[in-house]
Amino acid sequence: MSEPVTLTFTHSEKEFVAATRLFYARLYHTRFRIVFSSIVLCFGLILILLNLGFILGSVAAVTGLVLLVLNFYAHFVMPRQYFQRNAKFREQYNLRFSEDGLLFRSKDVESKLEWRFYSKVWETPRFYFLRYDKDFFTLIPKRVFTSKGQESAFRDLLKRKIGANFETQGYLEGESVGFQEYRPPQSPPDWR
């Protein structure tokens, strides 16, 4: 049995917005949607300008424009508004991760969650996303760990409790995800 990992932190707006954009861009393929809506918009404008079909061109241009505006709003505007409208994100969080689960405390909330509440963990170079529904997650910024050992203990606990649903992103294959020391290769590279 391992020692509990206790974290105390407050989210910053910039950090929360960056994490939310990253999460939803991955989940909903935002870049693809923006490119697709731009292509539909351009297709409609080309049809209108070349007199190849005013009605079809107008429908395509309006559809592309609406999709582009909606995707832009969802990706660039909504995360910041969501943070600013919810005072809970500016409160100090006290989290205690143990073998039994997560104890969450803030100004107005105290909650105990079992590990089965979380379905997946997604680790990036700056964050841990503990997913508990398709669109929802608990955000743990890596900056809140007080030592390399604390983060290693946290990662080991997550891997034991959530296991196969632990994903990493932003690392090269074979690159250390943790704070392990650099070890030079045992043999020189093969230059053949």
| Full DSSP string of 116-146 | GG--EEEE-SSEEEEESSSS-EEEEEGGG-S
Rounded CA separation 6/164 (Å):
24
Helix (H, G, I), strand (E, B) or coil at 185: coil
Quote the percentage of the chain above a pLDDT of 70.
Answer: 87
Residue 188 has pLDDT above 70, yes or no: no
CB atoms closer than 10 angstroms to residue 189: 6
Residue 179 has pLDDT above 90, yes or no: no
pLDDT at position 88: 86
Rounded CA separation 23/11 (Å):
16
pLDDT at position 189: 55
Same structural domain, 126 and 81: no
Give tens-digit pLDDT for 118-156: 988 999 999 999 998 877 889 999 999 999 999 999 999
pLDDT at position 76: 87
Same structural domain, 163 and 98: yes
Give tens-digit pLDDT for 42-68: 999 999 998 888 899 999 999 999 999
Strand order across the beta sheet in which 101-105 lies: 5-9, 93-98, 101-105, 110-113
Helix (H, G, I), strand (E, B) or coil at 166: strand
- Write out the residue range of the structural domain in which residue 20 sits: 14-87
Rounded CA separation 140/21 (Å):
15
The beta-strand segments (E) located in the chain are 5-9, 93-98, 101-105, 110-113, 120-123, 127-131, 137-141, 166-168
Number of compact structural domains in the chain: 2
pLDDT at position 9: 93
Same structural domain, 77 and 95: no
Q: Which residue has the higher pLDDT, 167 or 161?
A: 161
Residue 7 has pLDDT above 60, yes or no: yes
- Do the strands 120-123 and 166-168 form a parallel or antiparallel pair, or are they unpaired? parallel
Alpha-carbon Rg of the chain, whole angstroms? 22
Helix (H, G, I), strand (E, B) or coil at 43: helix
Helix (H, G, I), strand (E, B) or coil at 31: helix
Same structural domain, 66 and 97: no
pLDDT at position 187: 57
Give tens-digit pLDDT for 74-89: 888 999 999 999 988 8
| pTM as predicted | 0.74
Whether residue 185 lies inside any domain: the answer is no
CATH code assigned at 129: 2.30.29.30
pLDDT at position 175: 39
Q: Which residue has the higher pLDDT, 102 or 167?
A: 102
